[in-house]
Structure 1
Amino acid sequence: MVLFKVLSGIVVIAFTGTLASVSESQLPSQAIFVDPRSFAVMGPNADFRNDSFNMLFNPTSTTPPFFQIFDERFLTILGGSPSFREIASDPTFAFAHEAPVYNEPTDEVFFSSNDGGPLGMSDLNHNNVISKISMKEVEAALSANATGPVNVPITQLNLSDSIQMTNGGTGPYNSSILLVTSGRGSSPPSIVLVNPLPPYNATVLLDNYFGRQFVSLNDIKVHPTNGKIFFTDVDYGFLNLFRPAPLMPFQVYRFDPDTSAVRVVADGFNKPNGIAFTPDGNTAYVSDTGASGGFLGNNLTLPASIYAFDVDPVTHVFKNRRVLAYADAGVPDGIQLDSDGNIYSGCADGTQVWAPDGTLLGKFFLGMSTAEMIFAGDGRLVILAETKMFLAKIAAKSIPLGGPSRN
């Protein structure tokens, strides 16, 4: 089948069902294949995009949510019968922003609301919130409603006042949720361990760099083999008007949980944001969201890229920097990997997926911004889209995020 979309006098063709050896009947439901050859030349009279944040690439005008496929390898990620459903919604509150952590023992996903941004209900005088959703309840709701969206209730947590403006999370780490906070006002950014069970006791692990406050911590991951904790620091707290002006560069740090030693492992970014490691720990990925400037506005000439680095096995410094990908929609925010090393990142149109060689394989296309996502076990990708949450049931498998076993 061939789908046609007329753009300013030219025809953009999206071939569905012509993926190499894949027949049309084998293309999964909710999936559209957009052949890169169909838009390689658009012609001088084409309606070109001049805003990557608000003008999204959907040449088939397909109604979201759907799987937008650019490379047949994306079919391996999706599997034979994927599904893509909305599982929670609140149009008045950006409750689902970042810091997703899946806690397998309770089958729950924890996450934070937007900190300082639109509909975040948080600012210099108000903290953001951590919530959780029961995947057992999600599965029950989806089973009871075969099609369309469901709206599973979420539970807000009452956490310690030491946790101010949470923006990143990972784990479970030593059976706890590992969070980074941006801080608020004079309250310092920090790394915090939170028990996933009531009363959600919290322990601050780090809140300074040799007596200096960080700028506003953004994202965090545990190295899969050496167990060190790596995190990014950037000025979004200042740009969202709840933190003082920066007094340090925007960098990536390593924290040793055994000695509490902290050091810089990478610099030279405009706005270092998401961070992730390959399953073997040899490669680190860091997104630079410089194009998104908070109250300064967006600047499309600044980075919207993911960079790859080799991780030095002794010093843990990130070296041999190279570009993995440049996002075509907004900026690549949080990063997650699957067991095959494919790289997932939240962008202005949903979640985009690149192969380790940098090829854009496909998108979980929502037509709206997502900052983060998390595998809730194998085959379940939970996507945070500010005022909505989505669940994609696919074939891809998760990787452990808590570091090496300490047993």
Structure 2
Amino acid sequence: MSNISAFVAHDEQFHNLLGGSPTLELLVENNRYPFAHEAGVYIQATNELFITSNRFGDFPNTPPHEERVQISKVVLNNDPSKITCEEIDSSAVPMGNGGVNYKDGILFCGQGLLNRPSGLYYMSFSAPYDVQLLLSDFYGRPFNSVNDVIVHSTDGSIWFTDPPYGFEQKFRPAQNLPPQIYRYDPGTKTIRAMADGFGHPNGLCFSPDEKTLFVTDTDRVHGSEGILDYKASTIYAFDISTIHGQPFLTNRRLFAMADQGIPDGIKCDMEGNVYSGCGDGVNVWSPGGILLGRIVVEGGAANFCFGQKGEIFILNENRLWRARLGEHVRGALLRI
């Protein structure tokens, strides 16, 4: 359905992204549990979308350490009435969260449980959805609750965030590490801490040329203390510099602050514009940090992903939406 009121411009450049007739349509609704929360991994070959739910219990008053996260596969179609949403066996990925396309499958962040490790889990994207634990510790020190992950296309390195949400939300043991960003080299199997100084490092993405890293800090929302308005709801940018033949994150700077909720999942388009799921939907900034506009969705969006030719799939807890911008818009991750 067309819903032009869902697109709010703060700068004339936003209209260039919207094209002539932007639309927002509801694709799937599930009021049994919040099925559409994180990940958002689009598979072009099959026109499918893999998503992770928010935490939920199978009975009232389920204790946090007994809650679970459900991974679902959405088979897309231009006709929403023909879209299907299949729950797949998620037991091998404890408390799944963010995800990214990786080789012939998906790399999921497993936040872990009291007795299950947090780490990076590789899952094939076809049945029986085999899962392999790729990484779960920093030289023997267990990760806190790995949250989001991206892959650098040039060298194949895997970058991810590790906030303390699992401990704060009482489904993980006490922290063993500071809240940091890590880089894992699957070729040499070496891992490095790349940046610290965050409250809750969360979403991350590269610029189109992969020379800039954007990271969201969702410190405003604490697992045990609720909303703390004086904490960061901020996107930071770093330059990726080569020093002694190795990448370092330099020139840390505040890129933007979300005025509604927190900036959670984050993506770039091929023009370098920065999109983030916030408390009122998806906010869009220019490469220079100017708020261009918003795709307004009641209840906000933790995460989202680009599909093809201007499609954006917005994860809105009990609802999955599809926004269509101008067909020239391409997500920097898949470039389609």
* SS of the residue 1:253 aligns to: strand
Question: Could you tell me which residue of structure 2 aligns to residue 135 of structure 1?
Answer: 76
Distance in 2 (CA, whole Å) between partners of 1:315 and 1:269 is 23
What SS class does the counterpart of residue 74 from structure 1 fall into?
Answer: helix
Identify the match of residue 236 of structure 1 among 165, 177, 194.
Answer: 165
Q: Distance in 2 between matches of 1:178 and 1:121?
A: 28
Runs of 4+ aligned residues of structure 1 deviating over 3 Å after TM superposition are: 29-32, 119-123, 150-153
Q: CA deviation at 1:296?
A: 1.1
- Where 1:237 maps in the other structure, the secondary structure is helix
Distance 1:306 1:151 in 2: 37
Q: Alignment partner for residue 304 of structure 2, among 364, 373, 377?
A: 373
Would the aligned equivalents of 2:55 and 2:67 in 1 still touch at CA under 8 Å? no
Deviations 1:341-373 (A, max 9, x none): 111111111111111110111111012121100
Is 1:200 aligned with 2:129? yes
Partner of 1:67 in structure 2?
7
| Partner Cα distance (1:120, 1:317) in 2 | 45
TM-superposition CA deviations, 1:82-138 (whole Å, max 9, x none): 111111112231100001100111110001001369x998831132110011112xx
Q: 2:253 aligns with which of 322, 325, 348?
A: 322
Q: CA RMSD in A?
A: 2.0
Gap runs ≥5 in structure 1: 1-28, 33-65, 142-149, 403-407
Partner of 2:333: 400
SS at match of 1:179: strand
State the shift of 1:259 in Å: 1.4
Relative to 1, partners in 2 of residues 1:231 and 1:373: Cα closer, same or farther, differing over 3 Å?
same
The equivalences for 1:265-276 within 5 A come to 265-276=194-205
Cα distance in 2, alignment partners of residues 134 and 101 from structure 1 = 12
Superposition pairs of residues 175-190 of structure 1, within 5 angstroms: 175-190=104-119
Given that 2:267 and 2:331 are in contact with CA atoms closer than 8 Å, whether structure 1 keeps it comes out as: no
1:31 is the counterpart of 2:4? yes
Q: Is 2:4–2:22's contact at 8 Å kept on the other side of the alignment?
A: no
How far off its partner does 1:77 sit?
Answer: 1.2
Separation (CA, whole Å) in 2 of partners of 1:168 and 1:89: 21
Q: Which amino acid aligns with 2:225?
A: L
- Indicate the residue corresponding to 2:33 in structure 1: 93
Structure whose residues are more often strand by fraction: 2
Residues 1:225 and 2:154 aligned together: yes
Corresponding residue for residue 124 of structure 1? 65
Normalized against structure 1, the TM-score is what? 0.77
TM alignment of 1:1-400, pairs within 5 A? 30-31=3-4, 66-115=6-55, 123-136=64-77, 139-141=78-80, 152-159=83-90, 161-171=91-101, 173-313=102-242, 314-395=245-326, 396-400=329-333
Q: Which has the larger radius of gyration?
A: 1
Which residue identity does 2:45 align to in structure 1?
P
| CA distance in 2 between partners of 1:124 and 1:260 (Å) | 31
1:62 corresponds to:
none
Which whole-Å CA distance do the structure 2 matches of 1:89 and 1:356 have between them? 34
Residue by residue over 1:366-392, the C-alpha shift from the partner in whole angstroms, topping out at 9 and shown as x without a partner, is 121211000112211000011111000
Q: Secondary structure at the match of 1:114?
A: coil
